[in-house]
Structure 1
């Protein structure tokens, strides 16, 4: 028997979306759930002055994203759950993922969304979690140099962590 998704209880074995996600529009939620992957890709991408990252860096970034499951933040846990629940397999275009200017603008947009809609503790946890993803990628292969420090500083600024 088929059920409408609007207003009907979830089917057996499926949980309703956490209350945390209900306060965000679809576009806002998409921004919050795609940003961790974008941060990981940007941190791992070679740029002038930054060497290419190895597999260990990518794995460190994935591990940092997954570590959000244990955060003491409903928002971070809900974002990680949404990332792992995605099954469309359609990645965002690579040029958008690695574009630093676009990434920093998206981080600033996420900060604005969080300021309007999130509990301050959840907002801080989410922003710190994003930064931790980038830090783990940049430090994974012991190649951290001045360009990496500039990248991390710019990311921290965009996330209003400094």
Structure 2
């Protein structure tokens, strides 16, 4: 049985559309409940997985989590209607992004969820929105990975630890960014 469809008739900012501001375009207007949950839950899962991914090093601290949250929030300024709608939905939730705790940092499960999101985006999203969403999700992990265990961020575009580079490469592959 298919999940019920969730129309995105609200504006991408979560408010009624005003003059000059339109709701999400038809190409991104309808996702099943499961598809929408996947798309809105994935950024939080990416953030947590990147923060916990340490390959023998201590987990990253609060600074990494804050960097990830800033990267999620940066989606508010995206040119993509889909990314803005996802961010609006994330911030409209009373508890913020949620996912089962035991699945948040499981890399295999995360990569499978990324591949599932790519399939949903191929079927439902405008190609530009699909690319923007996938790049935004990768940028969340990138921002987290650039914060070391000391809490000091590496410069944007700067080097990351080899284990983090492998994590980002695997994530990018699952997001079909390669």
Q: TM-score range by the shorter chain?
A: 0.7 to 0.9
Q: Output the TM-score relative to the length of structure 2.
A: 0.77
Other-structure match for 1:19: 24
Contact 2:53-2:105 within 8 A present in 1 as well: no
Which 10-residue stretch deviates more, 45-54 or 145-154? Answer: 45-54
2:48 is the alignment partner of 1:41: yes
Task: Tell me which stretches of 4 or more aligned residues in structure 1 moved more than 4 Å.
Answer: none
Which 10-residue stretch deviates more, 32-41 or 79-88? Answer: 79-88
Gap change, CA 1:25 and 1:57, over 3 Å in 2:
same
Other-structure match for 1:158: 174
User: Structure 1: which 5+ runs fail to align?
Assistant: 1-8
Q: Greater helix percent: which structure?
A: 1
RMSD: 2.4
Query: Across the two proteins, how many residue pairs are aligned to each other?
Result: 152
Contact 1:50-1:145 within 8 A present in 2 as well: no
How big is the shift at 1:15? 2.9
User: Structure 2: which 5+ runs fail to align?
Assistant: 1-8, 155-159
Which residue, out of 56, 61, 65, partners 1:54? 61
Other-structure match for 2:122: 115
